[in-house]
Structure 1
Amino acid sequence: MMNICFATDDNYVKTTAIAIMTVLLTNKDEEISFYILSQSLTETNKEILKSTVLRYSSKSHIQFCILTSSIIDKFSSTIKKENHVSLATYIRLFIPILLPNNVHKILYLDGDIICTDSLRPLYETDLKDCSLVAAHDERTCDSESFQRLKYPMENGYFGAGVLLINVDYWRKNNIQQKTLDFVFKNKEICVWHDQDALNKILNGTVKFCHIKYNVYEHFYENENNYPALFNNEIKEAIENPVIIHFCSGRKPWTFESRCPFTGTWLKLYKQLFGKKCRLTHRYKGKTKFLWSIKRILHKLGIKKYEEFEYSKGYSGLRKQIEERYFKDKK
């Protein structure tokens, strides 16, 4: 059995349902216990997640872990309102107290992912003497991050969207409280929210996995942006991804998305919900207006803009991945 957890709210339920759907479609032989962390969810939205699990697996089940602690009210003040990050992002810090005591390890996944292959090899990674397993983030090559957070660069910097967590270690070492305390006392330092705090508190105790388990969508947009240190690993990851992470503001449900797997996500949405997804704009006001003008100029060939140049060359990989999702339509 595998334990997998998501953090969500009422605004992100459909996205989380698609993530769960892809996990089940690419891990068909697994018995999975899904744990949904949230501050609150409507019964309708709980039913969406329950029915998704039931539709795609007869062996798996789902449990809701609702956080009602007053600390959430205090903690919510640290969120920068101009950022696309929601309160649900921080709820993963409460994993030690929200999960049942008999859960000793958990695979935490952000809701804006699609799973494209088996998670079993990652889940079986040895957690002895480490706090978690995660993939390197681009900032692991950026000295600024380590100067800001004040810990050794050789300890690395991980992305917090995919975490195989040693729950026993977190409980024993009070990681929840240590991380919360760091966020409360260092709001300006935590540019990347609790991801920064987790990297600071857990540095030196983290085991790094292959980047294929957390492939950022922009790796498919511009190969020149690869961190040199991980150039070869990233190339391997984009050719054989296990988890594709839509971690930028250009989500697949926005007009501005440039990822070659946006169409795949939209197909998954239609299959799960029986209708097309209504796209929204990432940009608002003046920025949205200027973006629209630039888009028109680009389409007419009057002036070319890089932001409208979409990724090419991944049609074979996209077809291969979609075959895992759609060959046995339900």
Structure 2
Amino acid sequence: MKASIHIAFGLEDRGGAYAPHMAATMVSILEHTARPVTFHVLTDASLVEPSRAQLRTLCGAHGAEVLFHDIVLPEAGVGNEQALARLSRGSLYRLKLAEVLPKDVTRLLYLDCDILVTLDIGAVYDSALDGKSLGAVQDAGAASRFRRFLFQRHTPLHGTAYFNSGVLLFDLARLREIHDMWSETAGALRRAEGNAFPDQAALNIVFADDWQALPAAYNTFPDAASRVDVPAVYHFAGGPGNKPWATDKYPLSDYYWHCRAQTPWGDPAALALAKAQRTQALEDAVLTAPIGSRKAFLRNVLRRLAREAKAVWDMMK
């Protein structure tokens, strides 16, 4: 049997808001992956012990393991504090992964928590890095001149390739040998002052000449054509309204709820409450949105009703 696949998440779980989404991501991985998996959760006191126990139960039921690594960041001196105030501290916890993970973990796949996986994650984990410390996918948005400007503004990255930091494959042995990841990225954060995506920009600065491009399917932004039977790592990047638990515009949103139902946060009452909260948020948004956005909202509602009607019809046949 092959060695365990090591996967890390960065999680700040204030109010218990994000642990259920990370758990759904875990289920999507475990449903498609043959090899044993060890999850490493880079977190803090916001992930309370009852939630940790629930995650242990979930992983144990699938023959997987979950380990928690509590991260303490410096109180000051990180740089770019104003921009970082918009981000979860969980996005910074991954910058400490080389320090806190056991030294015998020499390869690691980092994933954001707004991801659904429909392939065997071992294919991503085994990707050749050709002597680089990092593997990543070219950011799809960087093809747009305007988005490239937002990505690279106030950084020395103009004219260079640019990767999305939601899926990162690390050769930890090489990384520890030639990089001081926290110190280098903290310095890069200061150089990225004013950047729209400071944590991602910092990683691009540090690894500008030390990353290997991975296939686009390993970090792809979903659209209306994305399906569970198309193998990929689907990354719901963007604002809060773009997440699979917050919108019905993607067929994959249904798969999120399928995965969520198999987690400790998936009992019918909890799911009903989560969906009701989502529906209320969508209704509040549409009442204050421009007319064009309201039309898009109504189209999404009609698509969802059509999918649900088809599912009922298929069950009756």
TM-score normalised by structure 1 residue count: 0.75
Distance 2:127 2:48 in 1: 35
Q: Residues of 1 paired with 2:211 and 2:279: CA distance?
A: 34
Is 1:64 the counterpart of 2:68 in the alignment? yes
Is 1:243 aligned to residue 233 of structure 2?
yes
The answer to whether the Cα contact below 8 Å between 1:7 and 1:37 also exists between their aligned partners in 2 is yes
The residue that corresponds to 2:190 in the other structure is 184
Q: Which runs of 5+ in 1 are unaligned?
A: 222-234, 320-330
Change (3 A) 1:290 1:215: closer
Matched, 1:33 2:45: no
Q: CA deviation at 1:73?
A: 5.6
- Give the Å deviation of 1:210: 1.2
How many Å separate the matches in 2 of 1:281 and 1:185?
A: 38
* Inter-partner Cα distance in structure 1 for 2:76 and 2:155: 25
Q: 1:76 to 1:202 in 2, by over 3 A?
A: closer
Provide the C-alpha distance between the structure 2 equivalents of 1:5 and 1:126, rounded to a whole number of angstroms: 19
Partner of 1:12: 18
Partner of 1:151: 157
Partner of 2:211: 206
2: CA distance, partners of 1:178 / 1:268: 37
Cα 1:152–1:193 shift into 2, 3 Å: closer
String of CA shifts for 1:228-281, please: whole Å, max 9, x gaps: xxxxxxx9x998342111222222222x45222112212322232222251335
Q: How far apart, in 1, do the equivalents of 2:75 and 2:6 lie?
A: 25
Q: Structure 1 residues 306, 114: closer, same or farther in 2, change over 3 A?
A: same
Residues 130 and 212 of structure 2 are in contact (CA less than 8 Å); yes or no, is this contact kept in structure 1? no
Q: Over aligned residue pairs, what C-alpha RMSD do you find?
A: 3.4
**Within 2, Cα distance between the matches of 1:76 and 1:180?**
7
**Is the alpha carbon distance of 1:50 and 1:243 closer, same or farther for their aligned partners in structure 2, counting shifts above 3 Å?**
same
Query: Distance between the aligned counterparts of 2:161 and 2:171, measured in 1?
Result: 18
Write the distance in 1 (CA, Å) between the matches of 2:172 and 2:56. Answer: 24
Structure 1 residues 283 and 150: CA distance shift in structure 2, 3 A: farther
Cα deviation, 1:58-78, whole Å, max 9, x if unaligned, reads: xx2111111124x15654972
Q: What is the distance in 1 between the residues matched to 2:193 and 2:278?
A: 29
- TM-score, normalised with respect to structure 2: 0.78
Aligned-pair identity (%): 19
Mapped to 2, the partners of 1:6 and 1:88 lie a distance apart of 8
Alignment of 1:148-297 (within 5 A): 148-151=154-157, 153=159, 155-172=160-177, 173-189=179-195, 191-217=196-222, 219-220=223-224, 240-248=230-238, 249-250=240-241, 251-254=243-246, 256-272=247-263, 273-275=266-268, 276-277=271-272, 278-279=274-275, 280=277, 289=284, 291-292=286-287
Q: For residue 116 of structure 1, what is the aligned residue in structure 2?
A: 118
Q: Which runs of 5+ in 2 are unaligned?
A: 312-317
What secondary structure, in the 3-state scheme, does the structure 2 residue paired with 1:160 have?
Answer: strand
CA distance in 2, matches of 1:282, 1:127: 43
More relative contact order in 1 or in 2 (CA 8 Å, sep 6+)? Answer: 2
